[in-house]
Chain A
Amino acid sequence: MAEKKIMLGNEAIARGAYEAGVKVSAAYPGTPSTEISESIVKYDEVYAEWSPNEKVAMEVAIGASISGVRAMASMKHVGVNVASDPLYTASYTGVGRGLVLVAADDPGLYSSQNEQDTRCVARAAQVPVLEPSDSQEAKDFMKFAFEMSEKYDTPVIVRTTTRLSHSQGMVVLEERQEVPDKPYERNIGKFVMMPGMAKGRHVYVEKRMEAMSEDGGGFFVNRAEYRDTSIGFITSGIPYQYVREVFPEASVLKLGMVNPLPRKMIEEFASKVDKLYIFEELEPVIEEQVKSWGIEAAGKEIFTRQGEYSANMLRRILLSEEVTEAQAAQVPARPPILCPGCPHRSVFSVLKKLKIHAAGDIGCYTLGAVAPLSVIDTTICMGASISSLHGMEMAKGKEYVKNWVAVIGDSTFMHTGVNSLMNTVYNQGTGTVIIVDNSTTGMTGHQDHAATGKTLKGKTVPAISIYHFCKAIGIEHVVEVDAFDLPLLEKVIQEETERDEVSVIITKAPCVLLKGNHFPDVCVPVPEKCKKCGACLKPGCPALTKKEDGSIAIDATMCNGCGLCMQLCPFDAIAKEPK
């Protein structure tokens, strides 16, 4: 009997690529896509890497494909923006061997800065998109994606969403099929995209999209399920499951290929059902096309463009059901926070004390925007802290940014912060950049990067020195400080923000969740010395609570022993004890 395994959607995607004979995989971590690379790295037959950003990852995959092997890149939806430059042109060149981009969208914004829909990018780039509905399909569709890529000479996007990527389901495992390398042949008409060649390829791209639309009715990923025809749904991905849950008797056109749309198949389905609904999360990508063909259907006028869908949503809207009698209790919110012992909290406590504003970036440290730290003023995208601070300075002058800094993590700095910093140097900005270096990509669950000295495959390599990089591009004032050395941090930040030259402060302390990184002690209150001033509570460490009498308690099961509270106490009312 074939082996069956419970797999995360992301694990199944990796398994599908493995079984399809993929040889090269490149990615930058980003929720909800990260586990794809963390799974594929376990297969010895596949070369897998963390690239510094998604554009590089995409180009690595493109190069591998041109050289004649099956290759993939994976990233979160906003990573596709970074990779869109190579993607749009790879659409024209087509592939050598199969090329697949896995894009992970995040409807409901579980861990992202926007809710964009990759299908819109795919339409603009004119590349096909497959969208599985569960772990088994995630695996099967990946294999089909590689075949399709080669048959139609196109990169293929496999679109997943948080709910699919982070749900587990049963998957039947199959053997890996080795695919022979395609012999390389020089072909500048196909792989050198100068205007003369690109014109020709654009013609091909449109023919290819038409061919896939035409052939789509025969693809196994698209399936018309005829049951009761008084009501019919066109749907795809996870929303398909909600339709099946609530309307098990309804007819469903389940689209596995959501770009280009299999027009004939859709027209036939629409002609056979009385009332047609189009049920798709986020943008009305299917709906607008279907309606443009003169087909009547209900869609975004009743289903929202925002957030994640659910079965209860269908019940509420289409069955007018009151789905639950019990109302949610009114309870205090529990938003995410920096961990106990997080070095970012220490840096932010100093910025807060000095009343300095921060242009922020993407990472755990974004949490410094909210109370009680309230230090981060802006968060846009990867790398934007440094460049937006520079923009503020060019707009308002150098005095304006003397109570501002840019705050960016080490992994984000390697991703695109380097470009922004080169710009500040080149255009003679005077801003202060704090690189909060915790030796990892923290938020996504601790992935290595070019400055950690380890690869995805676990190989030890020379770490790129952030300090020497900054020096090499001509920054004179680069200071490394222990993130928990409060007096020195305060002094350095004051000096560097005052300076009429660009400067970089690298605050160093590894992420407290990194394996092997444990402080030896825990912090304990010394009640007889406590004056109940509350200084220790200011940075909002979750291990500390105020008791009814105003003194504090420290939860020994949560405290990581960083000693920030101890440093902040003016009365020595917190001590350290061995764990």
Chain B
Amino acid sequence: MITKSIMIVGVGGQGTLLTSRILGGIMQEAGYDVKLSEVHGMAQRGGSVVTFVRYGEMVAEPIVEEGQADVLIAFERLEALRYAHFLKKDGVLIVNDWRIDPITVVTGAAEYPENIIDELGRKHKVYAIDAMKEALALGNSKTFNVIVLGAAAKHMDFAKEDWLKVIEKTVPSKTVEINQKAFLVGYES
């Protein structure tokens, strides 16, 4: 099988690392070779963060480069726009319809672009989800990232039951139920 590439992008502090652990878990269960690459340290303090996930029979490079991503999972609109050019021509973009102003916008040095999702939709296959709204409806705003993952999982080659099993293995036992629920909200959206 040809190596497949997934990217998770967001704002430091949004919990991209949990999502990548679940992704890594499901690929390992399926018997693939997997490499994940993450950002730790300073960028985690509210900066733009990226996680790369690659899987296949034998994976060499641990990062995903421009024009190579099969799936781009974005936890925030501006970050979707920033990394959209990493997508393959027929790649799929799942974006959380959520805005976090970067400091450059807060200070007035830059403007937050309008109509990002419409713009991206002209060039790519885009699926937007208001995961924060769904997470608040579930009673836990922190679950939004697993909701987005659920929405992305629909476009990947793994069974729903396998995802739920991996979530059970990956997250702390107290939060298994809420995370599985959150995943299904995204998966069935």
**Contact (Cβ within 8 A) A336 B85:** no
B104 touches A (CB below 8 Å): yes
Choose from B38, B39, B104 the contact partner of A335 (Cβ within 8 Å): B104
**Contact (Cβ within 8 A) A242 B45:** no
Q: How far is the CB of B54 from chain A (nearest CB, A)?
A: 10
Question: Which residues of the partner chain B approach A325 to less than 8 Å between Cβ atoms?
Answer: 67
Most chain A CB neighbours (cut-off 10 Å) among B11, B28, B41, B67: B41
Which residues 159-198 in A have Cβ within 8 Å of B in the complex? 163, 166-170
B60 touches A (CB below 8 Å): yes
B36 touches A (CB below 8 Å): yes
A84 touches B (CB below 8 Å): no
Known interface pairs A241-B62, A336-B47. Does A32 touch B110 (Cβ–Cβ under 8 Å)? no
Choose from A8, A242, A537 the contact partner of B61 (Cβ within 8 Å): A242
Q: How far is the CB of B84 from chain A (nearest CB, A)?
A: 7
Which residues 40-78 in B have Cβ within 8 Å of A in the complex? 40-48, 59-63, 65-67, 78
Choose from A167, A339, A542 the contact partner of B62 (Cβ within 8 Å): A167
Question: Which residues of the partner chain B approach A339 to less than 8 Å between Cβ atoms?
Answer: 13, 45-46
B87 touches A (CB below 8 Å): yes
User: In the complex the two chains form, what is the Cα distance from A327 to B48 in whole Å?
Assistant: 18
**Contact (Cβ within 8 A) A329 B35:** no
Known interface pairs A6-B28, A245-B61. Does A332 touch B78 (Cβ–Cβ under 8 Å)? yes
**Contact (Cβ within 8 A) B67 A324:** yes
Quick check: which of A271-279, A290-298, A364-372, A495-503 contacts chain B, the rest being far away? A364-372
**Contact (Cβ within 8 A) B42 A312:** no
B112 touches A (CB below 8 Å): yes
**Contact (Cβ within 8 A) A31 B35:** no
**Contact (Cβ within 8 A) B66 A110:** no
**Contact (Cβ within 8 A) B40 A32:** yes
B134 touches A (CB below 8 Å): no
Known interface pairs A324-B85, A327-B85. Does A445 touch B62 (Cβ–Cβ under 8 Å)? no
Most chain B CB neighbours (cut-off 10 Å) among A34, A242, A332, A546: A332
Question: Which residues of the partner chain A approach B102 to less than 8 Å between Cβ atoms?
Answer: 332-335
How many chain-B residues does the 8 Å CB contact rule pick out? 53
Q: How far is the CB of B38 from chain A (nearest CB, A)?
A: 5
**Contact (Cβ within 8 A) A445 B45:** no
Please give me the residue from chain A that is nearest to B62 by CB atom. A167
Choose from B48, B63, B123 the contact partner of A310 (Cβ within 8 Å): B63
**Contact (Cβ within 8 A) A542 B101:** yes
Can you list, as one digit per residue, whether each of A530-563 has a CB less than 8 Å from chain B (1) or not (0)?
A: 0000000100101011100000000101100000
Known interface pairs A324-B67, A542-B103. Does A111 touch B42 (Cβ–Cβ under 8 Å)? yes
User: In the complex the two chains form, what is the Cα distance from A4 to B34 in whole Å?
Assistant: 12
Q: How far is the CB of A252 from chain B (nearest CB, A)?
A: 11
**Contact (Cβ within 8 A) A167 B67:** no
Question: Which residues of the partner chain B approach A338 to less than 8 Å between Cβ atoms?
Answer: 45-46
Can you list, as one digit per residue, whether each of A4-34 has a CB less than 8 Å from chain B (1) or not (0)?
A: 1010100000000000000000000001101
Choose from A8, A311, A337 the contact partner of B45 (Cβ within 8 Å): A337
Please give me the residue from chain B that is nearest to A4 by CB atom. B28
**Contact (Cβ within 8 A) B33 A329:** no
Choose from B66, B78, B109 the contact partner of A331 (Cβ within 8 Å): B78
Question: Which residues of the partner chain A approach B12 to less than 8 Å between Cβ atoms?
Answer: 336
Q: How far is the CB of A456 from chain B (nearest CB, A)?
A: 18
Please give me the residue from chain B that is nearest to A169 by CB atom. B35
User: In the complex the two chains form, what is the Cα distance from A544 to B47 in whole Å?
Assistant: 16
Which residues 101-118 in B have Cβ within 8 Å of A in the complex? 101-107, 109-113
A2 touches B (CB below 8 Å): no
Q: How far is the CB of A167 from chain B (nearest CB, A)?
A: 4
A117 touches B (CB below 8 Å): no
User: In the complex the two chains form, what is the Cα distance from A312 to B100 in whole Å?
Assistant: 30
**Contact (Cβ within 8 A) B37 A166:** yes
User: In the complex the two chains form, what is the Cα distance from A545 to B34 in whole Å?
Assistant: 40
Which residues 1-43 in B have Cβ within 8 Å of A in the complex? 11-13, 24-25, 28, 33-43
Which 8 A-B pairs give the minimum distances between C-beta atoms?
A111-B41, A31-B41, A332-B110, A336-B47, A334-B102, A324-B67, A324-B66, A326-B85
Chain A residues at the B interface, C-beta cutoff of 8 Å: 4, 6, 8, 31-32, 34-35, 110-111, 134, 163, 166-170, 238, 241-242, 244-245, 310-312, 323-329, 331-339, 364, 367, 370-372, 443-445, 537, 540, 542, 544-546, 555, 557-558
A-B contact pairs, 16 of them (CB 8 A): A31-B41, A31-B42, A32-B41, A167-B62, A310-B63, A324-B85, A326-B85, A333-B110, A334-B46, A337-B47, A337-B103, A339-B13, A370-B103, A443-B41, A443-B45, A540-B106
